[in-house]
Chains A and B, each alone.
Chain A
């Protein structure tokens, strides 16, 4: 067997390993959220195929909710575009922080552009906590296996649960809703190896709700760019001081 063949086999294996991520806790939590989206789509008067097309085409739950909301409100296409695109700006730093970790020097740009579609909050957390344990040359295959499976499974779930599940009982729905934030909190903290990530974690948690009260339209964006920059500067100051102390000693 040539080296190249062996490499392809390895990639297939990593693709399948990524696929298995569909059985992980975050993937299962997300599926329950998409059952909720299907119920919302029924109430809003979307057809089954429209709800599925939205899931496949947008693949970002907040953006989907906003688009459905503006359709109910009868907003025109330009207003809908603006509302959705404002909520999706956050995708840019999320994707930009994953790409350097995922690619090799040989990964073609078109492949990264294609795979970026599957990056949303759940797969961002999955990638930023697990990619480092995958050999670099197989990371693209690993993420593709997970991302593509997660998106298509949820599209399937929307298609199947459309019109069947109207609503979970309130306490179950409450518990399911709470799963998402507490999963993000514990998994991101547990995997934060760099101090800068931990500082940004704390700054983001504090700024998010405060800015939501002060500047509700741009809260997430400001908390991200402003809070992230603060966290970065604090970390840089900390590193410089540490270095100064080490050099002085």
Chain B
């Protein structure tokens, strides 16, 4: 019983507060920014670079099943997919389906 209770304290303190603390700071900081301000340009750049760093890491250092797949296949799937996406008028569906199709085809061929 006590142990169960401890887990929830852990979730609240080391989970909820540890995460939402930064969200609240984000609200307080963002609330002072004007939509046309130079500072917002910088914050946008930081947020975008950060999200893209997380994204690139998912491809280069995946966890789970993709961890055993070759890096060149994942990079080729993402790279070729992105080029086709750019060449065909930037449709998000194309940018999602093409890389996944290349990856799946590659995984099949490597297994065979």
Contact = CB atoms under 8 A, between A and B. Distances in A.
Interface of A: 25, 36, 46-47, 50, 53-54, 57-60, 62-64, 67, 70-71, 77, 80-81, 84-85, 88-101, 103, 109, 112-113, 116-117, 119, 121, 124-125, 170-171, 173-175, 177-190, 192, 194, 196-197, 199-209, 211-212, 219-221, 223-225, 227-229, 231-232, 235
Contact of B35 (A95, A100, A205, A228): A100
Interface in B35-83: 35, 37, 40-62, 64-66, 69, 74, 77-78, 81-82
Nearest to B74: A178
B49 A99 contact: no
Contact of A94 (B26, B40, B64, B77): B26
Interface string B16-29: 11111111111111
A189 B90 contact: yes
Contacts of B21: 85, 88
Contacts of B16: 57-58
Given A54-B11, A205-B52, A208-B52, A97 B47 contact: yes
Nearest to A54: B11
A38 B13 CA distance: 21
A142 to B, nearest CB: 17
B56 A208 contact: yes
Contact of A174 (B10, B14, B66): B66
Contacts of A203: 49, 52
B96 A100 contact: no
B64 A173 contact: yes
B17 to A, nearest CB: 8
Interface size class of B (residues with CB under 8 A): 35 or more
A205 B48 CA distance: 10
A93 B43 CA distance: 6
Contacts of B64: 36, 173, 177
Interface of B: 4, 7-31, 33-35, 37, 40-62, 64-66, 69, 74, 77-78, 81-82, 85, 90-96, 99-100, 103-104, 107-108
A89 to B, nearest CB: 6
A15 B79 CA distance: 37
A107 to B, nearest CB: 9
Given A184-B51, A208-B52, A235-B41, A95 B95 contact: no
B54 to A, nearest CB: 6
Given A57-B12, A185-B95, A220-B53, A101 B7 contact: no
